Structure 1
Amino acid sequence: MAKQERAARTRELLVHAAAEAFAREGFAPASLTTISKRAGVSNGALHFHFESKSTLARAVEEEAAEVIRQIARSDGRRSGALQRLVDATYYLMSRLDQDVVVRAGFRLSNCAALRDRSADLRGQWQHWIEQVLQEAEREGELAAGVPAADAATVVAAAMVGFEMLGAKDRDWISTGRLLPFWELMLPRLAAPGVLERVKPAGTPFSAQPPA
């Protein structure tokens, strides 16, 4: 059991060290030697767990993708669709700001060398936004004349824009960026009766993974 725990700990150290390297330098410049040194393990230990830099990058992406899965598993009973959307953006933005694995996972989504990767984080995030806005449309939460598809395009593009700009300037992925965005967007998106209920600053749930 102790051996299994050590192996799991070594793998965790390597994934985190790789995420730091990928987030700081990008996939191509990051070296396995630098990653192993940052993790405090030998190159042999690295290759025992990961056969190549690509497989290590996919492990980083997979851990980051779990954040999107947490959002997608929300059962929707605690609030309406639009409030869940607002809360989810705050939750994801806080994770991008505070968790280098999530930050690196999204950065790897833009890497040409990993086109065959299994995790498309931006695509998963966009798909969830589309689903929740379709739900909002079905439930009558969207303003008249606002199609769910158009709303999803705008929201997804803005969120990906924040994330990509944040790769160079961390201020772009601070949650403070979201309040003015939602204060501008919600009056256009939400039906009048719904607008009164949706909190553009998020609810207490926005700091937690969705239930």
Structure 2
Amino acid sequence: MAKQERAVRTRATVLRSAAEIFDTDGFVAASLSSISHRAGVSSGALHFHFANKGALAEAIEKAAEQRLWRITGPAPDWADDHGPEGDVDLIQNLVDTSHQLFDGLNNDVILRAGFTLGCEPSWASLVDLHGQWRDWIGDTLRHAAKVGALADGTEPEDVVTVVAASTVGFEALGRKDPSWLSRQRLGQFWQFMLPRLVPPGTGLQKGT
């Protein structure tokens, strides 16, 4: 059992070290020797768990996909009979979930590296984290429109475009400047968006 536990810890350490290097150096520049050195394991120990650099990238993306799923869960499918408070919760949940995503990008290198790998032209990504995030936003906003939680004249697809492009843009900018992933920066975005997004008098919090 102790041997099995050590193997699990070693695999997790190698995966995290690879994520750190992919996140800072990119897929092409990353080397297995630098990953094993950072992880403090031999080359043989690394290869025991991962055959090559591609296998590491695949494992990071799959782990990041699971982390993103834990943040978003399925798109809300709340019954219409939740009434006005439930309607407001749809948009508040969108705001809160975006903050949770940014917290994850700030604090979880595997989640962050998964998004970074998705933008690598030299890596044929098997997981579309940006698409997963965009689809969740779209499902949430279409449901919000269905139950009357959007302001009159607000088309959900227009909002999806703005919210998805903005949040993904913040994620990209945050790779160079972490202030783009701060709660303050995202809060400013929602303070601008919410008055245009929700009906007057809903009492929705201001982007925090």
TM-score normalised by L of structure 1: 0.89
Q: Give the unaligned 5+ runs of structure 2.
A: 79-85
Q: Which whole-Å deviations, capped at 9, do the CAs of 1:10-47 have from their partners, x for residues lacking one? A: 11001100011011111110111000010011111111
Equivalent in the alignment of 2:65: 65
Query: Does 1 or 2 have the higher relative contact order (CA < 8 Å, sep 6+)?
Result: 1
Equivalent in the alignment of 1:29: 29
**Candidates 142, 147, 155, aligned match of 1:147:** 155
2:107 aligned partner, one-letter code: Q
Equivalent in the alignment of 1:157: 165
Contact 1:97–1:170, Cα closer than 8 Å, also in 2: yes
Q: CA deviation at 1:75?
A: 5.6
Contact 2:76–2:140, Cα closer than 8 Å, also in 1: no
Equivalent in the alignment of 2:137: 129
Cα distance in structure 1, aligned partners of 2:10 and 2:172: 30
TM-score normalised by L of structure 2: 0.90
> Is 1:184 matched with 2:185?
no
**1:104–1:138 CA distance, 2 compared to 1 (3 A):** same
Cα distance in structure 2, aligned partners of 1:143 and 1:100: 37
Cα distance in structure 1, aligned partners of 2:7 and 2:74: 29
**1:89–1:52 CA distance, 2 compared to 1 (3 A):** same
Cα distance in structure 1, aligned partners of 2:205 and 2:26: 36
In our comparison, the structure showing a higher alpha carbon Rg is: 2
SS at match of 1:119: coil
1:10 aligned partner, one-letter code: T
Equivalent in the alignment of 2:46: 46
Give identity over the alignment, percent.
46
After TM superposition, the structure 1 = structure 2 runs for residues 41-120 of structure 1, keeping only pairs within 5 Å, are: 41-70=41-70, 71-73=72-74, 80-115=89-124, 117-120=125-128
SS at match of 2:122: helix
SS at match of 1:114: coil
Q: CA deviation at 1:200?
A: 2.6
Q: Give the unaligned 5+ runs of structure 1.
A: 203-211
4+ runs of 1 displaced by more than 2 Å? 72-79
Q: CA deviation at 1:66?
A: 1.6
Cα distance in structure 2, aligned partners of 1:200 and 1:63: 32
Q: Provide the aligned length of Structure 1 versus Structure 2.
A: 199
Contact 1:64–1:105, Cα closer than 8 Å, also in 2: yes
